[in-house]
Amino acid sequence: MQSRDEHLAAIADAIVSYLDSHPDAADTIEGIAKWWLPAKMCGDMRSIHSALARLAAQGVVQRRTHADRHVVYSRKPQ
């Protein structure tokens, strides 16, 4: 069984892999769960949120809040 840290790392790796293939992608956490991640990872929204927070802290993704209060994640520009 995977530890929580390993699970978060696997989700983060899947997100980075998606962004490597789709560098202009941007989506909400719900869209990321539905479209970016393998089915076995998409049900755990808390872990997806944690993985995105970790990637944002590392400077890999950026988090933007739109006027309608939707939060969108995308690759951080270099």
Tens of each residue's pLDDT in the chain, 78 residues: 678 889 999 999 999 999 999 999 999 999 999 999 998 887 789 999 999 999 999 999 999 999 999 999 999 987
CATH of domain 4-75: 1.10.10.10
* pLDDT given for residue 28 in this prediction: 97
Task: List the domain boundaries for the chain.
Answer: 4-75
Q: What is the pLDDT of residue 40?
A: 85
Whether 66 and 72 have beta carbons less than 8 Å apart is answered as yes
Read off the amino acid at residue 68: D
pLDDT at 24: 96
pLDDT of residue 55: 98
Strand arrangement of the beta sheet that strand 71-75 belongs to: 26-27, 71-75, 61-65
Query: Given the structure tokens 């997100």, which residue do they identify?
Result: 15
Instruction: Look up residue 41 and give its amino acid.
Output: M
